[in-house]
Amino acid sequence: MSPLIEVEVPLDDRSYRVIVGDGAAESLPQLVPERAKRAAIVTQAGIGLAVDPGVEHRIFEIGDGETAKAMSTIEDLCRRFAQWGLTRNDVIIGVGGGLVTDVAGFAAAVYHRGVDVIHVSTTLLGQIDASVGGKTGVNLPEGKNLVGAYWQPAGVICDTSVLSSLPPREYKSGLGEMAKYHFLGGSDLEGLPIAERVARCVQIKADVVGSDEREGGRRAILNYGHTLGHAIEIAGQFDVRHGEAVAIGLVYAAEVARRLGRVDAARVQEHRHVVGSYDLSHRLPDGSDHDELLSLFTRDKKALDGVTFVLDGPNGVEPVTGIDEDILRDALRAVS
């Protein structure tokens, strides 16, 4: 078995370790704070990863699907924690994909006004994105992720041995998010074994989060490819997973950047190559309505100042505001 890789998320006295590799889950007791006497393990029925935190623990299952990512789940969990007697010195451990770690993290942020949380991430998407960086939250009927908190974990486990048992579509969705990192400083990703690749993506995210924890600026680059990606997901009538939508969004963002003179045709081709190397499509689903997608760009909750896109350019990937609708429309044709 390859040695485990440790990445630090640098946040001064709230810095934490992310332990990556096959069998990393066995390192969980190392991350449990010394003062914790009990661990509440938040997970779902189908996750199938049994963890041993090395202290007294109890399993708290939540439901599947986006409907479980709700305020009612947070209330339910907190009530069950209280009935068990979980104290502010104890620890909550989220074991699952992004939905579980978002919910467990938010419950940890609010229970007793904040208790330690550790994430044991079991999907590729979760390992390279949701579990690291402290964004937690739930949906409202009015929209996704509308209620939440920044609550950094005490540590994160990315056990890559679980990735081989993921459903193929779930794994492929993670690859779309991985493709993003190629353009955020990860040009060395190609050719790395999977555990090193995950660790490299985590390292890139850790550096960004360490420099801009609350998305005052630079952290927005982590949304590269996501404006069109979210629009495709929200349009909703397509069978497209998050990472698959992001992959299309990456190539689209490159097409927009080329029309603004920020990158050349070779760089657009590089985007197509990376996305293709993960066997992901860079074409909009058949039947996409360009007017609908354009109107969804302005509804993206990150559109604070007209249509904001995260675009590649001479200074690297950065947010760009006020993009002309004709350019956005023309670039949509290039990914159709």
- Report the interface residues with ligand GLY, using CB under 6 A: 129, 133, 135, 219, 222
The one catalytic residue among 69, 226, 241, 271: 226
Nearer to ligand GLY, 39 or 99 (CB): 99
Say whether 135 is catalytic.
yes
Say whether 299 is catalytic.
no
d(CA 60, CA 197): 31
Q: Is the dihedral of CA 210, 214, 217, 221 positive or negative?
A: positive
d(CA 313, CA 185): 13
Say whether 242 is catalytic.
yes
Nearer to ligand GLY, 129 or 244 (CB): 129
Q: Is the dihedral of CA 33, 162, 129, 61 positive or negative?
A: negative
Nearer to ligand GLY, 219 or 241 (CB): 219
Smallest gap from residue 132 Cβ to ligand GLY (A): 7
Nearer to ligand GLY, 61 or 213 (CB): 213
CB atoms within 10 A of CB 240: 22
Token pair recorded at residue 73? 């789940």
Token pair recorded at residue 223? 């949304």
Nearer to ligand GLY, 139 or 288 (CB): 139
Smallest gap from residue 129 Cβ to ligand GLY (A): 5
Say whether 215 is catalytic.
yes
The one catalytic residue among 38, 135, 200, 241: 135
Smallest gap from residue 177 Cβ to ligand GLY (A): 8
Say whether 230 is catalytic.
yes
Residues near 231 by beta carbon (within 8 Å), at least 6 away in sequence? 292, 293, 296, 297, 300
What's the 3-state SS for 85-131? CCCCCCEEEEEECHHHHHHHHHHHHHHHHCCEEEEEECCHHHHHHHC
Coil vs helix vs strand at 306: coil
Say whether 226 is catalytic.
yes
Smallest gap from residue 151 Cβ to ligand GLY (A): 12
Please check whether residue 7 is in contact with residue 199, taking contact to mean a CB–CB distance below 8 angstroms.
Answer: yes
Say whether 61 is catalytic.
no
Smallest gap from residue 271 Cβ to ligand GLY (A): 19
Say whether 292 is catalytic.
no
The one catalytic residue among 8, 61, 215, 270: 215
Residues tagged active-site: 113, 135, 177, 205, 215, 219, 223, 226, 230, 242
